[in-house]
Structures are given as structure tokens and as C-alpha cells.
């Protein structure tokens, strides 16, 4: 490899990526469609941050914005700052040139997309994907392929079998693990994972999550894990960030969010999760539907579906409230959320 990276382990006040007031808009027939609305969040060095929300809530857009990878005609505004080393001067991601962005992506911040089969070229072996990536970034191929062998072995795969295979010759779990290895081939500091286990069965999902914890420690990664399944990621993530209709609703340590969530939407998500151990009458879908990006409501975006909403909620955006240690929520009525939206905490597998 061309370089050896020195990394510092996670501390609670050591961000590796800072997102500040980031919005993403599209001009749809002369009307702005907001698909990310003034989001501010930190990814701490060495942590796993779970970003959770319904489909279409803006989760993938947040990850794309962190790499300045929102496709035109989308417009990204705000600030994204990346700190390659603890205490170093930040890199302003949204101000980088195309050449600088090429270096940032894969080499510093890498991404694993949902569905490995759609990420691999079916006419190329897995080995070809690794070699092509190394050559594109001017890395030593022989040294890089040694790393590929190690990465695949760390993910409990047979390196030679995998490298000589085409993607369609691998099972879903094998191809997803091969994609994770490919995303790490250039030694990034940050791994963004967009619903990486959504297409897999529950057993394989759990297996990959367990492997991620090991990989994070060995390669000193900071991971943003995007999912719609809150209980799935709760046992893996250090913190959770709940997105609803393009804006953050609640952020805090995983245990706090699962056991003492203070936002009606978070609690409704937990209540709606199917669980074989929960009485069927305790599981209820969230009534109503999320807003259209071109017609987001004034005030709190969740107000039209919220059992606690008042006229104030429909008029004003709620401020962030500190409700625990590193636990924040954006709700005028957070003190009443537990009573208004109860759920069986013991059945949430965290």
C-alpha cells in the first residue's frame, strides 16, 4: 500500500465526521422537494452509529451527503467536516474538487450498498473487482491482494474460492461479505452501510452484524449503519439516530433509546416491530403515512401522525431537549411520550 494509517480509538468527544445543518433538495416542477432537512449529527471516532427510520425518511440521502455523492439535480447545503486524525484540521467535504473527492471516497470514507448483486459487475470475477479498485486508486496490487485475502478470511470466507468466483455463484450472505471486504480494501477510516443486510434472512443478518463488531475493532473503523429495523441494530450500535420525514427526531445511546425513548415516533417504531415473543395485540402499525417530500408539513414533521400533537406542534418546529446522558429528542411533549405510546420493552431484542 502507499501509506500506513495511524488511528486513534474512540472517545465520546472525538468526532470523525461532523454533519451540520445539512439539507438536500430537488427542484420538482418548480417546487423544492426536501429529502433531508437541516440535519446535524456527529459520527464519533471508533463508534457504530445506527441511523433508523422508515423507507423514504432520508437515511440513504444522509450517507450520500456525507460523501458529497448526491446525484444531480439534487442540491446539498450545509457543512460536512471529516477529521482524518484525532485533533487534525477538518476536511470540508462539500468543498472538495472532483480529484479530491475521488481520493476521499473508498480511501477515507467507503460505502456498502444494499444488495451486493447489484453492486458487482456480473461479467467480472470478485478478484477483478478488487484489482480494478486498487489500480484505480494507484495502490500496489500485489500488496492490496494480500490484504484482500486477509479481509475475506476475517469475514469467514475462503479467499481463493471467493476471488475466483462471479457474484452470481455466491450466496447472498457470501456476496454481501465479499462486498464488505471490497469496501475495506483501501483502508478507509469510515464505513457507511446502507441497509447491508436487508435482503438476507434473519440468521445471516445476525451473523454479519456479529462479524461487523469484530471487523470494527480489528480495523479501527467508525461505522454508520443505516436500517429500518431498530431492534436489529440496537444490539450492535453504540448510539442510535432516529430519522423521520427527512429530519432527526431523537439521538442517544442505544440502550437509552430502546428502554427510555422520549419521542412518540421512536416509541411507535418499537411498538410496530413484529416479534414472536410479544402478544399480537401489543404490536400496532403507525397510523397514517409519511409526508411527500414536496409537501412536508410546517412545524414538527411527525405532528400529523402523533397522538400528542397540539396546534403548537403543527405550527412550530420543536427544539432539541436534553433528556438524559447524551440523549436528545425533538418533541414538545416528550415527558408524556411513554404514557401515550407504551410498548413491551422486554420483547425488544437489544
Per-residue pLDDT tens over the stretch 226-269: 998 888 888 899 999 999 999 999 999 999 999 999 999 999 99
Q: Read out DSSP for 238-269? A: SEEEEEETTEEEEEEEHHHHHHH--SHHHHHH
pLDDT single digits (tens) 77-118: 999 999 999 888 999 999 999 999 999 999 999 999 876 667
Angle at 234 between CA 12 and CA 343, to 5 degrees: 120
Q: How confident is the model at residue 350 (pLDDT cuts 50, 70, 90)?
A: very low
Whether the pLDDT of residue 2 is over 80: the answer is: no
From the list 22, 14, 133, 30, the residue with the least C-alpha distance to 84 is: 14
Q: How confident is the model at residue 343 (pLDDT cuts 50, 70, 90)?
A: confident
Angle at 238 between CA 7 and CA 109, to 5 degrees: 45
Residue-averaged pLDDT of the chain: 88
C-alpha cell at 247: 429530519
Distance CA 220, CA 245 (A): 32
Whether the pLDDT of residue 280 is over 70: the answer is: no
Stated pTM of the model? 0.90
Determine contact, residues 62/87, Cβ cutoff 8 Å: no
Whether the pLDDT of residue 163 is over 90: the answer is: yes
CB atoms within 10 A of CB 193: 26
Q: What is the mean pLDDT of residues 330-348?
A: 83
Q: How confident is the model at residue 165 (pLDDT cuts 50, 70, 90)?
A: very high
pLDDT for the residue numbered 278: 56
Domains and CATH numbers, the chain: 15-237 (3.40.50.300), 248-340 (no CATH)
Q: How confident is the model at residue 296 (pLDDT cuts 50, 70, 90)?
A: confident
Distance CA 206, CA 209 (A): 5
Determine contact, residues 255/231, Cβ cutoff 8 Å: no
pLDDT for the residue numbered 25: 93
Q: What spatial distance separates the first Cα and last Cα of the chain, rounded to whole Å?
A: 39
Amino acid at each position: 500500500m502507499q501509506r500506513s494509517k495511524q488511528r486513534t480509538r474512540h472517545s465520546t468527544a472525538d468526532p470523525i465526521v461532523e454533519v451540520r445543518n445539512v439539507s438536500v433538495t430537488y427542484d420538482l416542477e418548480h417546487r423544492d422537494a426536501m429529502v433531508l432537512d437541516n440535519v446535524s449529527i456527529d459520527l464519533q471516532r471508533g463508534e457504530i452509529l445506527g441511523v433508523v427510520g422508515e423507507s423514504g425518511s432520508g437515511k440513504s440521502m444522509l450517507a450520500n451527503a456525507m460523501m458529497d455523492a448526491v446525484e444531480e439535480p439534487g442540491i446539498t447545503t450545509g457543512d460536512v467536516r471529516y477529521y482524518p486524525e484525532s485533533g487534525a484540521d477538518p476536511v470540508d467535504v462539500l468543498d472538495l474538487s472532483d480529484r479530491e473527492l475521488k481520493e476521499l471516497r473508498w480511501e477515507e470514507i467507503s460505502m456498502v450498498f444494499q444488495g451486493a448483486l447489484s453492486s458487482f459487475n456480473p461479467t467480472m470475477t470478485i478478484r477483478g473487482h478488487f484489482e480494478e479498485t486498487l489500480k484505480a486508486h494507484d495502490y500496489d496490487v500485489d500488496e492490496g491482494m494480500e490484504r484482500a485475502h486477509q479481509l475475506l478470511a476475517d469475514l469467514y470466507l475462503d479467499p481463493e474460492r471467493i476471488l475466483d468466483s462471479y457474484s452470481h455463484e455466491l450466496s447472498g450472505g457470501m456476496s454481501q461479505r465479499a462486498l464488505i471486504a471490497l469496501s475495506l480494501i483501501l483502508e478507509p477510516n469510515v464505513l457507511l452501510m446502507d441497509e447491508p443486510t436487508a435482503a438476507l434472512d434473519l440468521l445471516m443478518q445476525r451473523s454479519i452484524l456479529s462479524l461487523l463488531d469484530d471487523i470494527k475493532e480489528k480495523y479501527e473503523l467508525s461505522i454508520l449503519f443505516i436500517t429500518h429495523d431498530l431492534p436489529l441494530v440496537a444490539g450492535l450500535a453504540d448510539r442510535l439516530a432516529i430519522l423521520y420525514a427527512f429530519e432527526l427526531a431523537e439521538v442517544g445511546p442505544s440502550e437509552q433509546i430502546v428502554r427510555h425513548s422520549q419521542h412518540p415516533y421512536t416509541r411507535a417504531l418499537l411498538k410496530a416491530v413484529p416479534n414472536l415473543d410479544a402478544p399480537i395485540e401489543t404490536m400496532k402499525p403507525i397510523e397514517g403515512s409519511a409526508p411527500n417530500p414536496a409537501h412536508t408539513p410546517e412545524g414538527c414533521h411527525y405532528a400529523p401522525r402523533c397522538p400528542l400533537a397540539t396546534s403548537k406542534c403543527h405550527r412550530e418546529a420543536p427544539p432539541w431537549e436534553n433528556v438524559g446522558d447524551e440523549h436528545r429528542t425533538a418533541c414538545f411533549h416528550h415527558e408524556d411520550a411513554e404514557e401515550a405510546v407504551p410498548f413491551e420493552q422486554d420483547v425488544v431484542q437489544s
